[in-house]
Amino acid sequence: MKKFLLIAFIAITGVVNAKDIERKGLEKKKEEKEKKKEEKKVEKQTVCTQYGMVAWCKPDEMVTDTVCYESSSEADYQHSRACMRENGNLYNIYMCGSSTDHLGTIEY
């Protein structure tokens, strides 16, 4: 009878330890997933820049606009700057009938 109780005790201890190991493994996986999500959030931060456009034919008037880009991407940043220049040129064409290169966008 003592041998049977000893074997049963060892078996129950093994099952309990296996469940603890499994639970710890699941908790570790959850922590890793949460850590990856936080890293992705840090990597993908959106930065918005407000800037002013001045038409060359109306130098006393300024119109503001906003561009946004992902801070982790240099290409996205350069694209936002290209959009600012294009918007400035289009604003000049709309207001004055033609675009000039020396005026257009003023960043502040």
Q: 7-11, 89-93, 99-103 — which is least confidently predicted? A: 99-103
What's the pLDDT score for residue 102? 56
Tell me the domain boundaries of the chain.
1-43, 44-107
Question: pLDDT at residue 23 above 80?
Answer: no
24-71 pLDDT, tens digit each: 777 888 888 888 777 766 567 899 999 999 988 888 999 999 999 998
Angle formed at CA 40 by CA 39 and CA 42, multiple of 5 degrees: 65
Q: How far is residue 42 from each of residues 9, 35, 37, 45, 105, measured CA to CA in Å? A: 49, 11, 9, 6, 30
**What sign does the dihedral 67-68-74-79 (CA atoms) show?**
negative
What's the pLDDT score for residue 108? 40
What's the pLDDT score for residue 50? 94
The predicted model scores a pTM of 0.52
Question: pLDDT at residue 106 above 60?
Answer: no
